[in-house]
């Protein structure tokens, strides 16, 4: 479907993308970057499914229209992210068709009572994963020198920064009558989500990374080009995600009584 035919409620990607400076990068570097964007696009399509499920669950639970509207905006954002990824792939010269997604296997989406599932997806899912995503997008954007990638990361980051607070706000409504024990029972699932995300980044990183292996000049140049294109190694990606947990994830979870003893 042509991008112009999609009726987005929220912000649409700007029509004019920065021109990709293909000649500045080695072909194998561009292919690695394209592969990462294909993978991100698949993630974003999964998020369309997850956000739609949350929106439907909130409607079934009788959530206020203000929360339902925010949930609808979330779905809209995720669809827009799929489009952004496709436009980056086109600009990279690596267009690729999208296929059907495999079945969702995430435990957060598992069949159970609607209220419990919704609370898990909002508070152990969105409130944890989205801020970690935002922290990584921000770290990549700081290092990206290629205008096309900087544009795309800016578009994604603008929304991601809003999605974590949505998870907290909507989740707070869902668990408004829960006991402290019920709330604290969500904490292990929050940790599972943190660890899943960390593994997806190539972590967990060892406790000390002070001793770095020597790299060749060619490897250094390849690494520099990848960073110019916003593709970070597992180390800096995990570092950003960990910082995001400290700054963006734990304080609101503590305020909701999901985690106790935060010092």
Partner 1 sequence: MNPTNVRTLLLSLGLATGIASSVNGCSSQSGSGPPGGAGGSQNTGGFCGNCMGQNLAMGGASGHPDASAEASTGAGGETPPVDAEAGGG
* Interface with partner 1 in residues 173-232 (CB under 8 A): 187-188, 190-209, 211-213, 215, 223, 226, 230-232
For residues 25 and 65, what is the distance between their CA atoms, to the nearest angstrom? 48
Which residue number, 63 or 245, has a Cβ lying nearer to partner 1?
245
* Distance between CA atoms of residues 241 and 137, nearest Å: 10
With the CA atoms of 33, 36, 42 and 43 taken in that order, what torsion angle do they form, in degrees rounded to the nearest 10?
-130
CB 169 → partner 1: shortest distance, Å? 16
Residues in 72-101 at the binding interface with partner 1, rule: CB under 8 A: 81
Compare residues 4 and 172 and give the one whose CB is closer to partner 1: 172
What's the token pair of residue 169? Answer: 């706000």
Cα 227 to Cα 242: distance, rounded to the nearest angstrom? 19
Pick the closer one to partner 1 by CB: 69 or 188.
Answer: 188
Across 44-53, b (16+ Cβ under 10 Å) vs e yields: bbbbbebbbb
Residue 4 or residue 63: which is nearer to partner 1 going by CB?
A: 63
- The stretch among 10-18, 89-97, 118-126, 175-183 that binds partner 1 (CB under 8 A) is 118-126
Q: Give the residue with the Cβ less far from partner 1, 4 or 131.
A: 131
Of residues 105, 177, 181, 218, which one binds partner 1 by CB under 8 A?
105
Which SS3 state, helix, strand or coil, does residue 174 take? Answer: helix
Q: Report residue 243 as tokens.
A: 């910082």
Distance CA(198)–CA(205), nearest Å, equals 9
Taking CB under 8 A as the criterion, which residues in 128-167 touch partner 1? 128-134, 136-137, 140, 160, 163
How many residues in the shown chain lie near partner 1 by CB under 8 A?
87
CB of 50 to partner 1, least distance (A): 4
Q: Would you state the structure tokens that stand for residue 109, as one six-digit string?
A: 């989406």
The candidate with the shortest Cα–Cα distance to 68, out of 227, 175, 174, is 174
Provide the angle, in degrees to the nearest 10, between the axes of the packed helices 127-143 and 234-244. 130
Distance of closest approach, residue 47 Cβ to partner 1, in angstroms:
6
Q: In this complex, which beta carbon is closest to partner 1, that of residue 96 or of residue 246?
A: 246
Site for partner 1 in 17-76 (CB under 8 A): 32-33, 35-37, 39-40, 42-44, 46-47, 49-50, 53-54
Q: Footprint of partner 1 on residues 237-256 (CB under 8 A)? A: 237-239, 242, 245-246, 250
Q: Which helix (H) or strand (E) segment is 13 a member of? A: none
Q: How far is the CB of 150 from partner 1 (least distance, A)?
A: 13
Work out the angle at residue 244's Cα, subtended by the Cα atoms of residues 144 and 86, and round it to the nearest 5 degrees.
45
């Amino acid at each position: 479907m042509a991008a112009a035919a999609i009726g987005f409620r929220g912000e649409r990607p700007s029509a004019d993308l920065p021109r990709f400076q293909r000649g500045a990068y080695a072909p194998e570097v561009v292919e690695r970057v394209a592969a990462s964007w294909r993978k991100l696009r698949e993630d974003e399509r999964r998020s369309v499914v997850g956000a739609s499920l949350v929106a439907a669950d909130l409607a079934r639970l009788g959530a206020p229209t203000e929360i339902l509207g925010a949930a609808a905006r979330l779905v809209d954002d995720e669809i827009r992210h799929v489009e952004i990824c496709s436009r980056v792939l086109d600009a990279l010269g690596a267009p690729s068709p999208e296929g059907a997604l495999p079945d969702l296997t995430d435990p957060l989406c598992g069949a159970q009572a609607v209220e419990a599932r919704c609370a898990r997806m909002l508070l152990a899912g969105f409130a944890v994963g989205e801020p970690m995503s935002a922290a990584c997008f921000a770290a990549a954007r700081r290092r990206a020198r290629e205008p096309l990638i900087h544009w795309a990361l800016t578009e994604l980051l603008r929304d991601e920064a809003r999605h974590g607070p949505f998870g907290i706000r909507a989740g707070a409504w869902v668990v408004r009558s829960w006991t402290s024990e019920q709330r604290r029972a969500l904490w292990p699932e929050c940790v599972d989500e943190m660890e899943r995300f960390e593994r997806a980044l190539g972590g967990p990183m060892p406790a000390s990374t002070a001793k770095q292996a020597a790299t060749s000049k060619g490897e250094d140049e390849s690494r520099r080009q990848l960073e110019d294109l916003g593709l970070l190694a597992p180390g800096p990606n995990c570092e950003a995600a960990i910082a995001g947990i400290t700054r963006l994830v734990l304080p609101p979870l503590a305020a909701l009584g999901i985690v106790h003893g935060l010092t």
